[in-house]
Amino acid sequence: MKCPVCFSAWDDAKGTTCPQCHFDSASADARDSQKILKAREAFKEKASAYDPDSRVSRLDVLKPWFAVVLGFVIFCLWLRACATHGRMF
């Protein structure tokens, strides 16, 4: 089956309720376009993929950049050590 709300697919044997957004495709008004649109908007508000800025802190964004800078500094120290045959200064 394919969910009309979040478009995820699952096996028919697992039931009619979507495992991701929990929309019941077998309900009486499951084909109602207004209900589907409201369920999509509710799912978008809950999912972090649609609102990443509210759930990702600034520190989480900067951590990879700190690692890149630290790696570059270590690489420069290694190059300096190799060029001077082990004497750093």
pLDDT digits (tens, 9 = 90+) for 16-29: 888 888 888 888 88
In this structure, the dihedral spanned by the alpha carbons of residues 24, 29, 30 and 32, taken in order and rounded to 10 degrees, is -150
Q: Are residues 14 and 42 in the same domain?
A: yes
> Which structural domain range is residue 39 located in?
1-52
54 against 70, higher pLDDT: 70
The Cα–Cα gap between 21 and 61 comes to 27
Q: Are residues 42 and 10 in the same domain?
A: yes
In a domain, 19, yes or no: yes
Q: Is the pLDDT of residue 88 over 70?
A: no
Contacts of 17 (CB under 8 A, 6+ apart): 23, 24, 25
In a domain, 88, yes or no: no
Q: Is the pLDDT of residue 75 over 70?
A: yes
Structure tokens, 84 = 């001077």
- Name the residue with tokens 């630290």: 70
Q: Are residues 46 and 62 in the same domain?
A: no
Q: Are residues 1 and 38 in the same domain?
A: yes
Q: Are residues 75 and 34 in the same domain?
A: no
